A and B are shown apart, each in its own frame.
Chain A
Amino acid sequence: MLLSIKNLRVNYGNVEALHGISLQVDAGEIVTILGANGAGKSTTLNAISGLVHITDGSIDFQGTALHTLPAHEIVKFKITQSPEGRRVFGTLTVEENLMLGAFTSANPERIAASKQWIFELFPRLEERRKQLAGTLSGGEQQMLAIGRALMSNPKILLLDEPSLGLAPILVKSIFETVKTINKAGVTVILVEQNAKAALKLAHRGYVMEVGNIVLADSAENLLKNKQVQRAYLGGGH
């Protein structure tokens, strides 16, 4: 097991957003987390990344208690995130954004190799390397957010709604790319509203409702699950 979360609780002020969730991820998997708005999907990813403090429970990564570490230390364990809403550095160039993704790496050759791989995945970024990230289209910004998260050769890539606000054709190409990234050996945790596409891509899935995990199964079974079909797949698929 690569990552193991046990009884995780997170509070925002007095309000508890995660009520003790547990989930596991194995090396090489794509695991998707589904759920309605406000279910706690982003909070889960941010707890893994160390952006929110946890009030109880544990996050174990290959024997390291991640929940005791600050966010910038967690990146050194090769766990990176492409956050919800992309959050690229708008007044920096594409290239500068990518280099920030490699902030914790000291090896210039590795950095160059990662950059080349990212330009292969997203040729558009190479064309626009000198352009300010804030002037990219939404789809290009999403590519940049993912590329930036790949710059430090992550073992686990956390993707928070990469398809948000993108045209269907772009969504398809982003999901294809996620598959390619996974094939290259990167474990992926994918948070998505686009449940059908996510389940088709993922090996396993978790379904969250208001701070709890209510279903955990293989993607195949979740696609067939009546409850999932009704709530997230728009009925009669």
Chain B
Amino acid sequence: MEQFFQQLTNGLAVGGIYALIALGYTMVYGVLKLINFAHGDLFSIGAYLGLTLLLSMGLFDKIGALASVLLLVVMVMVLVAIIGALLERVAYKPLRQSHRLTAVVSALGASIFFQNAIMAIYGPGLLVYPHDLLPRIAVNIFGVDIPLMRIVMFLASVVLMAALYFFIQKTKIGTAIRAVAIDQGAARLMGINVDRVIMLVFCIGPALGGSAGLMVGLYYGQINFNMGWMYGLKAFTAAILGGIGNIPGAMLGGLLLGVIEAMGAAYISIAWKDALSFGVLILILIARPTGLLGERVAEKV
């Protein structure tokens, strides 16, 4: 029972990270029908920028742990959002009218560029976050000791997801984003500036992905230049699992994948952890090709 609870909370924490990254894939796919293969690298950039900001500003000594983390999250989100918007402007916007495959090649090119840029700036080796920044204490829940950081990480991802969900569902701009994802031409007839909406999506997705990178850095303490590859692939799997293009689907898919992986590692074999998540993906695609929440409403034409 103790092991189950440990793995469940661990899976939810990691799943929250997957979900945050998956949202970027799914939102970009929603408005452009494009898989942004450079998204995993934006996650890495979040982790690296977080480390740089943390070391250069000496925040933890000045304003304490909680305020530092909050400030770091905000700064990383803003910076990675700007990089995301630039990526869209440079790598995707000029290809808007071209064949879909052209944009995919551009996405792969952008990914290689980002990885090499990180490697050139920070070097190819592992970097470590200072390991005594955050209190390593555990919280006792139902008689099980859960690391506080794990809970904080999970809550942080839930807060970000809830904020996004509110924004998308309840605000005027959020509704415009959904409209653009359904029919760009009709959205333009409403007076929506579709280019601006696409740029906004390329700010929101990377901001969430970048914040996930920072959290991974703070939680695990180690980062490297190609960490975005595996996390990106897992998050992409999560997005497909939930139904690509579907925002609640990405959240559900991420959390589910995290839990499945954690359980698989504990009860089957840790060596099969990754194989298990991709196995789940294949099963879902066979049983429900649209993903768990994809295409719930058939549209009348």
Contact = CB atoms under 8 A, between A and B. Distances in A.
A49 B187 CA distance: 12
Interface in B166-196: 172, 175-176, 178-179, 182-183, 185-194
A83 B298 contact: no
B300 A75 contact: no
A134 B297 contact: yes
Contacts of B193: 70, 72
A233 interface: no
B106 to A, nearest CB: 23
B301 interface: yes
A226 interface: no
B297 A103 contact: no
Contact of B175 (A76, A81, A99, A132): A99
Contacts of B176: 100, 103
Interface stretch (A4-12, A22-30, A88-96): A88-96
Interface of B (DSSP majority class): helix
A71 interface: yes
Contacts of A99: 172, 175
B212 to A, nearest CB: 27
B175 A72 contact: no
A92 B182 contact: yes
B132 interface: no
A89 B300 contact: no
A138 B300 CA distance: 8
A89 B191 CA distance: 14
Nearest to B300: A134
Contact of A89 (B172, B179, B188, B194): B179
B2 interface: no
A128 interface: no
A136 interface: yes
B178 A89 contact: yes
Contacts of A100: 175-176, 179, 187, 190, 192
A104 B191 contact: yes
Contact of A85 (B188, B298, B301): B301
Given A87-B183, A134-B300, A138-B300, A92 B175 contact: yes
A80 interface: yes
B297 A72 contact: no
Contact of B189 (A80, A91, A134, A136): A80
A49 to B, nearest CB: 6
Contacts of A80: 189
A132 B190 CA distance: 18
A26 B114 CA distance: 57
A81 B186 CA distance: 9
Interface string A148-191: 11001000000000000000000000000000000000000000
B61 interface: no
Most chain B CB neighbours (cut-off 10 Å) among A88, A100, A141: A100
Given A91-B178, A100-B176, A103-B192, A83 B301 contact: no
A89 B172 CA distance: 15
B15 to A, nearest CB: 26
Interface string A126-138: 0000001011101
Interface string B134-172: 000000000000000000000000000000000000001
Contacts of A216: none
Nearest to A71: B188
A72 B191 contact: yes
A40 interface: no
Interface string B189-211: 11111100000000000000000
Contacts of B178: 89, 91-92, 96
A88 B194 CA distance: 17
A88 B299 CA distance: 10
B55 to A, nearest CB: 44
Most chain A CB neighbours (cut-off 10 Å) among B178, B185, B189, B194: B189
Given A71-B189, A92-B182, 18 more contacts: A50-B188, A51-B185, A70-B193, A75-B189, A87-B185, A91-B178, A91-B182, A92-B175, A99-B172, A99-B175, A103-B191, A103-B192, A134-B297, A134-B300, A135-B300, A138-B300, A148-B190, A152-B191
Interface of B: 172, 175-176, 178-179, 182-183, 185-194, 297-301
7 contacts: A49-B189, A72-B194, A91-B299, A92-B175, A100-B187, A135-B300, A138-B300
Interface of A: 49-51, 70-72, 75-76, 80-81, 83, 85, 87-92, 96, 99-101, 103-104, 132, 134-136, 138, 141, 148-149, 152
- Top 7 A-B pairs ranked by shortest CB distance? A75-B191, A90-B299, A104-B191, A71-B188, A87-B186, A134-B299, A72-B193
